[in-house]
Every structure is written in structure tokens, then in C-alpha cells.
Amino acid sequence: MADAQGSEFRSSVSTPTLEVDVLVIGWGKGGKTFAAAMASQGKTVAMVEQSSDMYGGTCINIGCVPTKALVHEASVRRRGDDPHTYFTEAVETRDQLIAKLNAVNFAMLNDRDLVTVVDGRARFVAEREVEVEPRGGGSGRAEHLRIVAETVVINTGAVPVMPDLPGADGPRVHDSTSLQHVRPFPKRLAIVGAGPIGLEFASMFQQFGSQVTLLVRGERILPREDADVAGAVASVLTESGIEIRTNTEPTSFEDGDSEVVVRLDGGSALAADAVLLATGRRPATDDLNLAAAGVDIDARGAVVVDDQLRTTAAGVYAMGDVRGGLQQTFISLDDYRVVLDAVSGSGERRVSDRVGVPSTVFITPPFSSVGMTEGEATEQGHRVKTAFAQVVDVKAMPRPKTLRDARGIIKFVVDAETDKVFGARLFHVDSQEVINLVALAMRAGVTASELRDGIWTHPSSTEALNEVLGQLRE
């Protein structure tokens, strides 16, 4: 494409310099949306992305979208389908989808006259000034240059946390990215970690045909959830064939001719064809040289920001996973709204304004949550009413039965004094959609009684609200 309009190149001794109004480092949801919005306002923009495989960000290329595509393919596999063949075909379908989305995301910025896409790794050399080390293979501008901007957004996301254990770098030990293309298909899969990523891959690979063992450091999965909710999720996973070993940690990984042996604390061992290390993700701030820009980070490496996502350096913002907190694409999108308002709006929007932020773990059926647990609400001194129901027993909820999956539970926590919803845990078919309605109700101040008396389509999973919320008890 042509150079961004309004940009000025000037040669120093060895490095050309690109001067723009806005520099975005990293192509995540918030960053790409902010870049497009700034270009629409007539600003010159440089988008620096270190890998052409990541045009569009983590969610589109290696996170939310590709994994949920695989979750779907796994859920519709028939018992007679050969696991290896079926998985191979599912990955091909996944790859075709992601290639299209990657290309669309590149075009959405590159086709704008005011945007320059730069393929390379950015490193700060001064306030609001970076040097870019070019990376080949992409379709953007790839050359060593300096970029100077009035406004900078750090949007580099997060990277897997890999435990410092012997053998963790072995060929059969994977992170959540490499496991999506594992070859051959693992008949036995060990997963270290029981957070959202670990649980999703456990459920997915079990349905693809793997014998899955989940290694959990603590006493149970979902330790932040109420015990009745966590127990219900664990029961469904174990009944589907997943082995959950609690109070268990690996000490090393020994790669053999045809398997990997996971040595466990206490002296036992587990043999597997592949291992997934789902031990969390940390902000990707290594090698950015943030100190040169006056940008502070915390002990975990997250960029320190205020309530408007301003860093400690004037004119520099951070959004998405790199600033710590919830690692969700929709959080990054709302970060964009906060930064856009700070840069070109009224400046009134704040991160702390958020109420009722939902989340879903895409096991089968999906587990969705919003707001406080019963334990959290009582610990804060609230008097609560709760409703708890097994999905199979909810007469006003036929949809899961029509889909032959009536597993799961529903739990609501409600303020006994105001009837406002404190939180909900939905573990059932369509929960990823119903939870958005509950979140909206929380933001709008809709009471539990109003949800109970709502008129919902039939047959739908939303209908459960009519019956379940009629069971509220203190």
C-alpha cells in the first residue's frame, strides 16, 4: 500500500523514521478497533504486529475462535468416527476458517489510506518512540525503522506461563497453541492446570476420543466457585470419562520413544501420548524496553494503568491482557471504548464503571458465570436468597432435553433486601447466551422477580428463569 497520508519519512544515519499520530503495538481486539477508529477520525496510524500469523490478534488466530471451532467439531463427532482421522479433518476446517479471518483482519486496516501496517517487533527507545525489528513473511511493511507518535497504545496481549520443570520443553509437551495441531492424535492426554483453558481442552479432547487426565494442584477444580457449583461441573466431567486428580503436581516430564512420562509429587507417574501445560498466561511485556518510555509494570509484568487505562507515561495507554486482569476479548473491546473516550471523547468513561461482566468456559455443556458467588456475597455482609436447580429437573426448560443434553445446574444469588441479582452460575446448553441476558439485567437494575416473570421464547433455555427464580429461598 502507499505510505500513510500525512506521514513523514526522514533518514537518520541508518534508520528511516515514520511519524504518525497514533501507534498501536499489537493487533488484538482493542488495538485493531482503536486503530480503525482513529483512522476514521483522520489520524495517521501505524499498526505494528510481530507475526503475520497474528493479524487480528490472539482470539481470532489461536484463542477463542479456533478453539471454539474445535469444540464444536468435537461435540458432533459420532462414536464410530476414527479419532485420528476426525481430528485431522477438524483441524483442516479450523485452519481454513482462521486463514480467512486473518486475511480479513489484515485488510480491514491495510486497506485504509491512513494506516500503515508494519511487520516487526517494536521496542521503545524513548517516550512515544519505538524501533521496529522487521519480520519477514507478512504482507505489511517490513524494514528496520523508527516510529514516533503522539499517542501510543500497548496491546501486546499475553503469553503462556511455562513451568520451570525438567522436560517441559520436550516434543510431546504442548501449550494451548501447539496442541491444536498435535500429531499424531493423542490417545492419552495429560493436562496440567484446571483453569478455563485446561477445562476446555479436557472436554474437547475427550470428545475427540482421547483418554484425558486432568492434574489439579488444589483440592478441586474451579476453587473460586461455590462448592456446589464446582462439584456439579466436576461430576459432569468425570461422568464423561475425564479423570480428575486433585492435590497433584508434576515434577518432571520424561520423553521416551513413543510416550511421555509425567513424574508426579509423591513419587507416582503417569504415561501419556501428549501433555498440555495449561498453567496460565502472563502479560507479554518482555523485550518492549518499557523503562525507556517511562512505563511502569507490576510484579507480574503487567503494564500499570489508571482507571482510564493511562500508563505512567504521558500519551501512552495499555489495553487488553497486557495490563493484567481478566483475559477476555470482550474486556479488550471495552478497553478500546475507554481509551477512545479518553483520547477523543468526553473523558468520562472508566474501567470501574463496569457492572455484570459475564464469562463462559466452553466445556460441554458450557459453564457461564456473572457477578458474585454465594460465598463472596455473604463474606461481604450481604443477606442473600439463592436458587439452585438441576437442569434435568427444570420442567419449564425443554430445550436441553430436545438436544439430548440435560446435564448441568443453575444457581442464582440475589439480594434478599432489594431483589437485585448479585450473581448467577449457568451450567447448561445455551448458557453462553442466557448469561448475557442476566448480565444486562444486572447492569440495568432489573430484579430477580422481573426476570422470573419475563416472557421468553419457547422452547428455549431462557425459560428456566421462570421456574428457577421462583424457587428463591433465604
Q: For residue 396, which amino acid is it?
A: A
Confidence of residue 10 (pLDDT cuts 50, 70, 90): very low
For the segment 32-51, what is each residue's pLDDT rounded down to a tens digit? 999 999 999 999 999 999 99
**The pLDDT value given to residue 139:** 80
- In the predicted model, is pLDDT for residue 431 greater than 90? yes
Instruction: Please calculate the CA angle 331-383-196 and round it to the nearest 5 degrees.
Output: 30
Distance CA 338, CA 466 (A): 36
- In the predicted model, is pLDDT for residue 1 greater than 60? no
Residues making up the binding site for NAD(+):
193-200, 280
- In the predicted model, is pLDDT for residue 140 greater than 70? yes
Q: What is the pTM of this model?
A: 0.93
Mean per-residue pLDDT of the chain: 94
Distance CA 128, CA 313 (A): 9
Confidence of residue 5 (pLDDT cuts 50, 70, 90): very low
Residues making up the binding site:
68, 193-200, 280, 321
Question: Mind listing the domains of the chain with CATH numbers?
Answer: 8-159+282-353 (3.50.50.60), 173-279 (3.50.50.60), 359-471 (3.30.390.30)
**Mean pLDDT score, 269-284:** 96
For the segment 167-181, what is each residue's pLDDT rounded down to a tens digit? 999 999 999 999 999
- In the predicted model, is pLDDT for residue 12 greater than 70? no
**The pLDDT value given to residue 9:** 37
Residues making up the binding site for FAD:
68, 321
Distance CA 135, CA 147 (A): 16
**CB-based burial, 392-421: b 16+ in 10 Å, e otherwise:** eebeebbbbeeeebbbbbbbbbbbeeebeb
Catalytic entry in 72, 84, 174, 458: 458
Mark whether 428 is an active-site residue.
no
